[in-house]
Chain A
Amino acid sequence: MTGANSFQVSGYGPERAGWTRLFARDSLARRLDWTILLAAIVLSLIGSLLVFSATRNRTELNQGDQYYFLVRHLLNTGIGFALMIGTVWLGHRTLRTAVPILYGVSVFLILLVLTPLGSTINGAHSWIKLPGGFSLQPSEFVKVTIILGMAMLLAARVDAGDKQYPDHRTVVQALGLAAVPMLIVLLMPDLGSVMVMVVIVLGVLLASGASNRWVFGLIGTGTIGAIAVWQLGVLDDYQIARFAAFANPELDPAGVGYNTNQARIAIGSGGLTGAGLFHGSQTTGQFVPEQQTDFVFTVAGEELGFVGGGLIILLLGVILWRACRIARETTDLYGTIVAAGIVAWFAFQSFENIGMTLGIMPVTGLPLPFVSYGGSSMFAVWVAVGLLQSIRLQRPMSA
């Protein structure tokens, strides 16, 4: 990695920030990770078609405008894209300095959800209603904040060259930083998001090089915590019921198991090539609930078949694969931890979301990155893409 080439890129730094560098020769535009970008765009567009298919007949949702959700999904994608550009422009290192502000805002927002300003959708009290029919789900941004915040703490001394690995004190601090918003989200209760955050924390700790004791300790506490949560009745009945229905969907096919059952029927009936876009009878017949958001994958499964469903998984795989490479190849631990946190986030959320429609994971309200309808989620994942791009841009060019 050493040699003439490394000198050519060494000039890139914050001092040359500005639009010009985007258009400079042999530079930013060239060195962006186009694979990730393209995969994310394709996923978003597939998502818009699926959302459209799922909602064009739902007059009770789309207020009589069959393009309502399609337009909004595209709009969200556009905003997300802009956020990505903004993120790249700022750079993840700049964002590191902004972590205290971001953290404060995030915690404030999720606290706001707990106040009467928040609203309940599908049993989870995790939205803030905004004017114009929009609503905000701050827990999505908390995911980003946790990644950035923990990375900042854990990488600070290592990147400074003081230590090879983060010490125990740092780890405790980082965990404490993550625990505060997680507890608040748990109170909402938005169990799905908490699960994602736990996995993010785990991924971040792993990538930070923290002692194995912390990693296994965290896994152990997570398990004990889950059992405790179950036993102490922190969970609402609907959450327990969802888990029970996951174990046995035939238990109550008209009630809780209904979603799982109908989702599985929709996907199973797709076959190899599916019923064709807009021709899925399960979708048209609106047998699967929440189909534009949490169960959007069922539309793909039914209407686009194994080919379409497989493509979505493949594209997610491509993003994750590239993200893993970015994590491995970046020079500073901060970038590595952020990338690894994003990998953990995307991987678990995708696996949980698709897994629940396929009946191998319990049902929780998590969106499928890029594909599901929902502004907050879309913005968050595009910001994450921006972070990945930024990390890639700031690592030395590989030969």
Chain B
Amino acid sequence: MTNIPETGRTPRVQIRLIVIQVLVLSLLGTLGGRLWYLQIREGDAYAKEASGNHVQQVVQPAVRGSILDARGVALADNETRLVVSASRTDLLKMPDDGKAVLTKLAGVLGMTPTEVMEKVRLCDAETPQPCWNGSPYQPIPITDEATAKQALQIRERAEDFPGITAEPQAVRRYASPGAANTAQVLGYLSPVTDEEIQQAQDSDSPYLRSDMVGRSGLERQYDKELRGKAGVTRYEVDNLGRVIGQAQSDAARAGSNLVTSIDARVQRVAEYELNDAMKKARQEWDRNTNERYKADSGAVVVMEAKTGRIVAMASNPTYDPNAWVGGISAKDYKKLTGKSSNYPLLNRAIQGQSAPGSVFKVIPTAAAVNAGYSFDGPYQCSSSYSIGGQVFKNFESKGYGPISLGRALEVSCDTVFYRLSHQEWQRDGGTKPKKNANDWFYKTAHQFGLGAETGIDLPNEVTGRIPDRQWKQDYWKANKDAWCKYGKKDGSYAEKIAYENCLEGNRLRAGDSVNYSIGQGDTLVTPIQMATIYAAISNGGTLYDPTVGKAIISADGKSVQEIKPKSHGKLPISRQTLAEMDDALAGVATRGTAAWRFADVGWPQDKIPMHAKTGTAEVYGKQTTSWFTTYTKDYAVVMTISQGGTGSGASGPAVRNIYDALYGVSDDGTIDKKKALLPTPQKSLPKVRTDGTITSPKISKDPAKEQRASQEGEDSADQQQLAATVATPSAENRDTRRRRRRSRRRGSRRMLT
């Protein structure tokens, strides 16, 4: 026991054993620490990952709600189609990225391989349409028009088509009832994008990867209501995907139906008449430009005067909304958005803005009365009005002597408004405005709701523009550099204008105030704004927010949520003035510029008092814009055709035909209640039964053509009585009728403004 301790060990061994012990314990400590880190600190994250691991979601897509017209006719609903889709994840697993499979598939579907491959590529900044902008993990639809035979071919040879599925799916259908396509109002759908899913993640209506989202029109505005909520069943699965239990199940909730105030028949008539009016306008000769009118675009709005509800809204050029269903093709996309397309996706009733011309004159009339001028006048309607050497002519340089404001509206006398506006401009201090200038003419326009959105329940409405002092200042600031560069004192007309603008474009000049008073110059309005204003004049002064949606009815019909009319203000005119203005506008239809479209051609003014105002707006470098604003006690109808000619000339017959259809009026003034499509606005809502079916009346194939035909029938009957020349209704008949209307025009024509 000298140097060996009693345990039989040297200090070296003893120390090493302690080292081993410490080492061992620290190893175990490491394990414990790591275990704590994984289970306690990061536990939640792993728990989440674990649940994602063994839970498979099976999504039952919610059926999107229908969009119905006021009587329950479906404008947009769903149909079952055989959809062939490709899973990108499966395709990419193949050595050739699935090219062989897609080529084979193209053969079965009768498409070219390129077409199919373009459909499954992902959209990015450099990839043009067509491409897939939905989730790359979701099956990408290649066609939704597969025949049963094609689907069978794919399903029976599943091993030849890995990653390809062919299944029946509910697909959006824009049914075009009665040939009314209502394209821009309805809008369209496209697949949800990753960003949208992220954004909506924490909202109360999150998106699913397979969701389609409304991109414009009603589909977008009421997307949340229409979409419903997809059902999700979560199954617990094992590592091979075998179901070992059901974790959670939320039943799908079908989207609600949107009842609109649109009447499919009136919509069809409006679309047809607008298109027809534009076609006719293109045959007319424009003496100013020495070519035919281009009539490149147009819009018409039929509004319930007492509620602001839209009965019909048409925009031309138009398109087939079904082009978007199942992914848009490259050709279609180019046709809809290309430079030469003239942008049919635009809803020109709310997104087209142009100078209003004389339909604007109700605003300076109200402004003048508000500024203290008497309605009765008299005011000198001279053939021209000059300011410092600059001559502002009346339309066709005609004078009417001293007249009232009402008469000035009737005959659309420009000089009366020139003078009043100029006087007010001077009173406000001219180019050096007083501190608290009244600016009656501008203030009133704003009070009429111009220069701002009407608040219609459609996305992307534009505001139009009231060129008041503030706007002049802002606009000059933004443009003066360009003007000053381009402008020349003794250059061309455009250069001179730019030069002038450079010098004093920030000031409201006398000429500006004069041009503005008749809705020219920089003034811009939208058809929906004008419809809102004229409906307000009809209903006693309430400016309603126009609405297309009338009610949201749940899929089982149990919950009905009405969309009540809302107003955004009152016209700034007294009852008295309103009545006088109302009289004057009736005068337009009986004695004034629109008489040759109404009173002179058999409009039953005593039974259905018609009020109208015509407008022919000049646009620098373009042909004149045709405006026609009208109203009865129930409806306001506004039509405009860009580069279409005069107000009553180009738009007149179309608007008259729309009224004829609404009220069942014939050319000779008789009213046939049976033929009237909608003599009073539709009040009741369509019924949605608990099983989801909707009661709706049958609708004829094309109400517009029928209406034309019935009128022609009467015409021909007339003429048979008169001349007994034409036996059957034919295309020739229509010409005859037009000729008849035209022949009367000569006698009754007063002025086209």
Chain B residues with Cβ below 8 Å from A284 are: 238, 244
Q: What is the CA–CA distance of A302 and B35 in the complex, to the nearest angstrom?
A: 11
Q: Are A351 and B30 in contact (CB under 8 A)?
A: yes
Query: Which of B25, B39, B54, B240 contacts A309, CB < 8 Å?
Result: B39
With both chains docked as a complex, state the minimum distance between the C-beta of A110 and any C-beta of chain B, in angstroms. 27
> Number of B interface residues, CB 8 Å?
47
Q: Are A264 and B46 in contact (CB under 8 A)?
A: yes
Taken residue by residue from 1 to 40, chain B's Cβ proximity to chain A (1 for < 8 Å, 0 otherwise) reads as 0011011111011101111110111011011101110111
Q: What is the CA–CA distance of A281 and B53 in the complex, to the nearest angstrom?
A: 9
Confirm or deny: A191 has a beta carbon within 8 angstroms of a beta carbon on chain B: no
Chain A residues with Cβ below 8 Å from B47 are: 268-269, 271
Stretch from A112-120, A137-145, A228-236, A317-325 forming part of the interface with B = A317-325
Stretch from A12-20, A27-35, A354-362 forming part of the interface with B = A354-362
The verdict on A336 contacting B8 (CB below 8 Å), with A281-B54, A317-B25 known, is yes
Confirm or deny: B239 has a beta carbon within 8 angstroms of a beta carbon on chain A: yes
With both beta carbons as reference points, the residue of chain A lying nearest to B32 in the complex is identified as A313
Q: Are B27 and A305 in contact (CB under 8 A)?
A: no
With both chains docked as a complex, state the minimum distance between the C-beta of B89 and any C-beta of chain A, in angstroms. 12
With both beta carbons as reference points, the residue of chain B lying nearest to A261 in the complex is identified as B49
Confirm or deny: B725 has a beta carbon within 8 angstroms of a beta carbon on chain A: no
With both beta carbons as reference points, the residue of chain A lying nearest to B34 in the complex is identified as A358
Chain A residues with Cβ below 8 Å from B27 are: 347-348, 350-351
Chain B residues with Cβ below 8 Å from A290 are: none
Confirm or deny: A301 has a beta carbon within 8 angstroms of a beta carbon on chain B: yes
Query: Which of A2, A268, A316 contacts B46, CB < 8 Å?
Result: A268
Chain A residues with Cβ below 8 Å from B672 are: none
Confirm or deny: B50 has a beta carbon within 8 angstroms of a beta carbon on chain A: yes
Q: Are B35 and A313 in contact (CB under 8 A)?
A: yes
Q: Are B238 and A347 in contact (CB under 8 A)?
A: no
Confirm or deny: B128 has a beta carbon within 8 angstroms of a beta carbon on chain A: no
With both chains docked as a complex, state the minimum distance between the C-beta of B737 and any C-beta of chain A, in angstroms. 76
Confirm or deny: B45 has a beta carbon within 8 angstroms of a beta carbon on chain A: yes
Q: What is the CA–CA distance of A335 and B51 in the complex, to the nearest angstrom?
A: 50
Query: Which A residues, 244 to 299, have Cβ-Cβ distances below 8 Å to chain B?
Result: 262, 264-272, 281-282, 284-287
Chain A residues with Cβ below 8 Å from B238 are: 284-287
With both chains docked as a complex, state the minimum distance between the C-beta of A269 and any C-beta of chain B, in angstroms. 4
Query: Which of B10, B24, B32, B237 contacts A343, CB < 8 Å?
Result: B24
Query: Which B residues, 339 to 360, have Cβ-Cβ distances below 8 Å to chain A?
Result: none
With both chains docked as a complex, state the minimum distance between the C-beta of A351 and any C-beta of chain B, in angstroms. 4
Chain A residues with Cβ below 8 Å from B45 are: 268
Confirm or deny: B712 has a beta carbon within 8 angstroms of a beta carbon on chain A: no
Chain A residues with Cβ below 8 Å from B19 are: 206
Q: Are A272 and B39 in contact (CB under 8 A)?
A: yes
With both beta carbons as reference points, the residue of chain B lying nearest to A288 in the complex is identified as B239
Chain A residues with Cβ below 8 Å from B46 are: 264-265, 267-269
Chain A residues with Cβ below 8 Å from B582 are: none
Q: Are A207 and B43 in contact (CB under 8 A)?
A: no
Q: What is the CA–CA distance of A286 and B237 in the complex, to the nearest angstrom?
A: 10
The verdict on A333 contacting B20 (CB below 8 Å), with A271-B47, A272-B43, A301-B39 known, is no
Query: Which of A203, A282, A330 contacts B50, CB < 8 Å?
Result: A282
Q: Are A320 and B50 in contact (CB under 8 A)?
A: no
Q: Are B6 and A268 in contact (CB under 8 A)?
A: no
Q: Are A285 and B39 in contact (CB under 8 A)?
A: no
With both beta carbons as reference points, the residue of chain A lying nearest to B24 in the complex is identified as A347
Confirm or deny: B718 has a beta carbon within 8 angstroms of a beta carbon on chain A: no
Chain B residues with Cβ below 8 Å from A225 are: none
Confirm or deny: B667 has a beta carbon within 8 angstroms of a beta carbon on chain A: no
Chain A residues with Cβ below 8 Å from B239 are: 285-287
Q: Are A264 and B38 in contact (CB under 8 A)?
A: yes
With both beta carbons as reference points, the residue of chain B lying nearest to A344 in the complex is identified as B20
Chain B residues with Cβ below 8 Å from A67 are: none
Q: Are B10 and A209 in contact (CB under 8 A)?
A: yes
Q: What is the CA–CA distance of A210 and B237 in the complex, to the nearest angstrom?
A: 57
Q: Are B13 and A209 in contact (CB under 8 A)?
A: yes
The verdict on A266 contacting B6 (CB below 8 Å), with A206-B20, A272-B43, A286-B238 known, is no
Chain B residues with Cβ below 8 Å from A272 are: 39-40, 43
Chain B residues with Cβ below 8 Å from A243 are: none
With both beta carbons as reference points, the residue of chain A lying nearest to B8 in the complex is identified as A331
Chain B residues with Cβ below 8 Å from A317 are: 25, 28
Query: Which of B13, B35, B50 contacts A281, CB < 8 Å?
Result: B50
Q: What is the CA–CA distance of A270 and B36 in the complex, to the nearest angstrom?
A: 11
With both chains docked as a complex, state the minimum distance between the C-beta of B238 and any C-beta of chain A, in angstroms. 4
Confirm or deny: B42 has a beta carbon within 8 angstroms of a beta carbon on chain A: yes
Query: Which of B8, B16, B50 contacts A206, CB < 8 Å?
Result: B16
Q: What is the CA–CA distance of A316 and B40 in the complex, to the nearest angstrom?
A: 21
The verdict on A208 contacting B13 (CB below 8 Å), with A268-B42, A284-B238, A306-B36 known, is yes
Q: Are A209 and B50 in contact (CB under 8 A)?
A: no
With both beta carbons as reference points, the residue of chain B lying nearest to A355 in the complex is identified as B31
Confirm or deny: A72 has a beta carbon within 8 angstroms of a beta carbon on chain B: no
With both chains docked as a complex, state the minimum distance between the C-beta of B66 and any C-beta of chain A, in angstroms. 41
With both beta carbons as reference points, the residue of chain A lying nearest to B237 in the complex is identified as A285
Confirm or deny: A164 has a beta carbon within 8 angstroms of a beta carbon on chain B: yes
Q: Are B50 and A266 in contact (CB under 8 A)?
A: yes
Chain B residues with Cβ below 8 Å from A161 are: 4
Chain B residues with Cβ below 8 Å from A396 are: 6
Q: What is the CA–CA distance of A206 and B53 in the complex, to the nearest angstrom?
A: 46
Query: Which of A164, A203, A285, A360 contacts B54, CB < 8 Å?
Result: A285
Q: Are B49 and A268 in contact (CB under 8 A)?
A: yes
Q: What is the CA–CA distance of A336 and B10 in the complex, to the nearest angstrom?
A: 12
Q: Are B50 and A306 in contact (CB under 8 A)?
A: no
Q: Are B9 and A333 in contact (CB under 8 A)?
A: yes
Confirm or deny: A125 has a beta carbon within 8 angstroms of a beta carbon on chain B: no
Q: Are B7 and A329 in contact (CB under 8 A)?
A: yes
The verdict on A354 contacting B17 (CB below 8 Å), with A268-B38, A306-B36, A329-B7 known, is no
Q: What is the CA–CA distance of A262 and B43 in the complex, to the nearest angstrom?
A: 14
Query: Which of B23, B32, B43, B53 contacts A287, CB < 8 Å?
Result: B53
Confirm or deny: B236 has a beta carbon within 8 angstroms of a beta carbon on chain A: yes
Q: Are B4 and A351 in contact (CB under 8 A)?
A: no
With both chains docked as a complex, state the minimum distance between the C-beta of A282 and any C-beta of chain B, in angstroms. 6
Q: What is the CA–CA distance of A360 and B32 in the complex, to the nearest angstrom?
A: 12
The verdict on A270 contacting B43 (CB below 8 Å), with A313-B28, A320-B24, A351-B30 known, is yes
The verdict on A309 contacting B50 (CB below 8 Å), with A165-B10, A333-B8 known, is no
With both beta carbons as reference points, the residue of chain B lying nearest to A320 in the complex is identified as B24
Query: Which of B14, B40, B237 contacts A306, CB < 8 Å?
Result: B40
Query: Which of B4, B16, B34, B54 contacts A207, CB < 8 Å?
Result: B16
Chain A residues with Cβ below 8 Å from B236 are: 281, 285
Q: Are A309 and B35 in contact (CB under 8 A)?
A: yes
Chain A residues with Cβ below 8 Å from B54 are: 281-282, 285, 287
The verdict on A301 contacting B21 (CB below 8 Å), with A281-B54, A329-B7 known, is no
Chain A residues with Cβ below 8 Å from B28 are: 313, 316-317, 320, 347, 350-351
30 contacts between A and B (CB under 8 A): A1-B7, A164-B4, A209-B12, A209-B16, A262-B53, A266-B50, A268-B43, A270-B39, A270-B43, A272-B39, A281-B50, A282-B50, A282-B54, A285-B54, A285-B238, A285-B244, A301-B39, A302-B50, A305-B39, A309-B39, A313-B28, A324-B20, A331-B6, A331-B8, A336-B17, A340-B20, A350-B27, A355-B30, A358-B35, A360-B30
New A-B pairs, 5, CB < 8 Å, besides A310-B35, A355-B31: A268-B47, A313-B31, A328-B14, A333-B9, A351-B28
What are the nearest 8 A-B pairs in CB distance?
A268-B46, A269-B50, A285-B238, A324-B21, A269-B47, A347-B24, A331-B8, A209-B13
